[in-house]
Amino acid sequence: MSNPFDLSGLRAVVTGANTGLGQAIAVALGGAGAAVVGVGRSAMDETAERVADVGGRFSAVSADLASLDPIERIVAEAGAGGRIDVLVNNAGIIRRADALDFTEADWDDVMNVNLKSTFFLTQAVARHMLADGRGGKVINIASLLSFQGGIRIPSYTASKSGLAGLTRLLACEWAGRGINVNAIAPGYFVTNNTEALRQDEERSTAILGRIPAGRWGDPSDIGGAAVFLSSRAADYVHGIVLPVDGGWLAR
């Protein structure tokens, strides 16, 4: 029996693949056999090297998802070597301030990247997935803030809550047409987004005290979930938001 987690022959696009969770997902998908296309604002040389180290293939598309301008180009360049079978919407930004002090610019910047561009890139890729009747897999990177409120990150919480809802809506529309739309909700990982929290001794101690696993997540911890949701093993999985959180939501 063939390995249901084997991604050989598939092409996967991962946004925000230059570092952190996006890089780890790209490496995991490449190691499982997929040809990976990274999309990001900055150089992805390190990601390319890490994917090569696990025997995978990697190419890069330079684009800033702060606006919708590059979306058609992203789809064209990413699909130049073959159809896009998997889309991982990982690109995201965060801005921190008390709700009373939060600015319109910080609201719009986060919503544009985390939610608006995610939707319209997914729309553009899905049109191609549906055109040949072969479907595909879409994985949105949500957050624990898709379930909880958090503090001092109003636009991030709103965007990630919206992304969970969007995941379910698209699953309802496309499940019967061969596209699986699911999400992963990472817990507290060692990434650029959490650096401020990790440097705050009081907040870091409180967070660690709430995680049953007793540690911050390493980016490599998310790879298996991404491989699963990209693979044939998840063909009957639609509209879930899968926490990878060290047990945070269980406590």
Looking at the whole model, is its pTM more than 0.85?
yes
> Domain with 130 in it: what CATH number?
3.40.50.720
The answer to whether position 95 is within a domain reads yes
Residue 6 lies in a domain: no
Q: In what helix (H) or strand (E) does residue 180 lie, and over which residues does it extend?
A: strand 179-186
Domain count for the chain, please give it. Answer: 1
29-41 as b/e: b if 16+ CB within 10 A: bbbbbbbbbbbbe
Average confidence (pLDDT) over 98-116: 98
pLDDT in tens, 155-193: 999 999 999 999 999 999 999 999 999 999 999 999 988
Mean pLDDT to the nearest integer, 87-116: 97
In a domain, 184, yes or no: yes
Domain range for 138 is 11-245
Q: For residue 71, is it left (φ>0), alpha (ψ between -120 and 50) or beta? A: alpha
**Confidence band for 18, pLDDT divided at 50, 70 and 90:** very high
Catalytic residue among 14, 27, 156, 244: 156
Per-residue pLDDT tens digits for 112-160: 999 999 999 999 999 999 999 999 999 999 999 999 999 999 999 999 9
162, amino acid identity: G
In a domain, 84, yes or no: yes
156 is known as an active-site residue: yes
Is 3 part of a structural domain of the chain? Answer: no
Is 206 a member of any domain? yes
Confidence of residue 197 (pLDDT cuts 50, 70, 90): confident
Output the CA–CA distances (angstroms, integers) from residue 163 to 79, 111, 139, 144, 246, in the order listed: 24, 10, 11, 12, 21
Residues composing the chain: 251
99, part of any domain: yes
Contact yes or no for 73/125 (Cβ under 8 A): no
Is residue 2 assigned to a domain?
no
Residue 144 pLDDT: 96
